[in-house]
Amino acid sequence: DQQVKQNSPSLSVQEGRISILNCDYTNSMFDYFLWYKKYPAEGPTFLISISSIKDKNEDGRFTVFLNKSAKHLSLHIVPSQPGDSAVYFCAAMVVTGGGNKLTFGTGTQLKVEL
């Protein structure tokens, strides 16, 4: 039972345009949602997060939107740059007193073309 799903394995956009990466989840108990970015041969790096009580969080070129009723979130990158080409993982977390475990989606490979 995959609790966090990224249904698009890949996405290709032109430099300067908007990239929209999508993520769906099934567990309504998740407290936070996070996006991680991963380059080849490196570990994932944190990009942006959103609390389950918010519907939007913005950080520079990156904005995450959360639609709780649809159990859906999306990451918008505007404008997209070639350096944004990477695999993007959506992850979700239930806050507990003992270590906050992340549940990851399967990732979306973003390619930003010149």
Q: Which stretches of the chain bind another protein, using CB under 8 A?
A: 4, 6, 9, 31-32, 34, 36, 41-46, 49, 51, 89, 91, 93, 95-107
Looking at the Cβ atoms of 49 and 74, the one nearer to another protein is 49
Min dist CB 79 to another protein, Å, is 25
Min dist CB 113 to another protein, Å, is 24
Looking at the Cβ atoms of 20 and 48, the one nearer to another protein is 48
Kindly provide the residue ranges of all beta strands, DSSP E only, lying in the chain, ordered along the sequence.
Answer: 4-5, 10-14, 19-25, 32-38, 45-51, 56-59, 62-67, 72-77, 86-93, 102-104, 108-113
Looking at the Cβ atoms of 97 and 114, the one nearer to another protein is 97
Min dist CB 26 to another protein, Å, is 15
Give phi and psi for 37, each to the nearest 5.
-120, 140
C-alpha distances in Å from residue 51, one per residue of 22, 32, 61, 64, 95: 17, 5, 19, 10, 11
